[in-house]
């Protein structure tokens, strides 16, 4: 995966950018982005979506602490409930 440098539009400070795979497509995020921050930036409701990174389920309570890495494969999905 490619890493790049972009500039913060407000401060002009260089930001490191990493590429992750999001639902099958390349997606650039700032280095240090958490799974929770990515969900929020895309407008996903945290309570309505399940998440997995590199094939491993990430529980809601761990999303704020799960920092994405270059090359991570991220999947958002709607949980299936019923009985």
pLDDT of 7 reads 60
- Residue 55: φ, ψ to 5°: 85, 0
What total number of domains does the chain contain?
1
Most distant CA atoms of the chain, gap in Å: 53
Residue 83 in this model has a pLDDT that exceeds 90: no
- In-domain check, residue 42: yes
The domain of 10 spans 4-77
Helical (H) or strand (E) element with 14 = strand 14-22
User: To 5 degrees, how large is the angle CA 63–CA 65–CA 69?
Assistant: 90
Look at residue 10 and tell me whether its pLDDT is greater than 90: no
Domain for residue 59, yes or no? yes
Say if 67 falls within a structural domain: yes
Q: Note whether residue 51 is domain-resident.
A: yes
The pLDDT tens digits of the residues spanning 11-69 come to 766 679 999 999 889 999 999 999 999 999 999 988 889 999 999 999 999 999 999 99
In a domain, 82, yes or no: no
CATH number at residue 64: 3.10.20.30
pTM above 0.85, yes or no: no
């Amino acid at each position: 995966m490619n890493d790049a440098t972009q500039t913060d539009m407000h401060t002009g400070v260089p930001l490191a950018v990493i590429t992750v795979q999001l639902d099958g497509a390349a997606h650039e995020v700032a280095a240090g982005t958490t799974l929770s921050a990515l969900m929020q930036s895309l407008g996903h409701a945290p309570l309505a979506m399940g998440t997995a990174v590199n094939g491993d389920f990430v529980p809601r309570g761990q999303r704020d602490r799960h920092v994405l890495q270059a090359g991570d494969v991220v999947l958002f999905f709607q949980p299936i409930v019923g009985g």
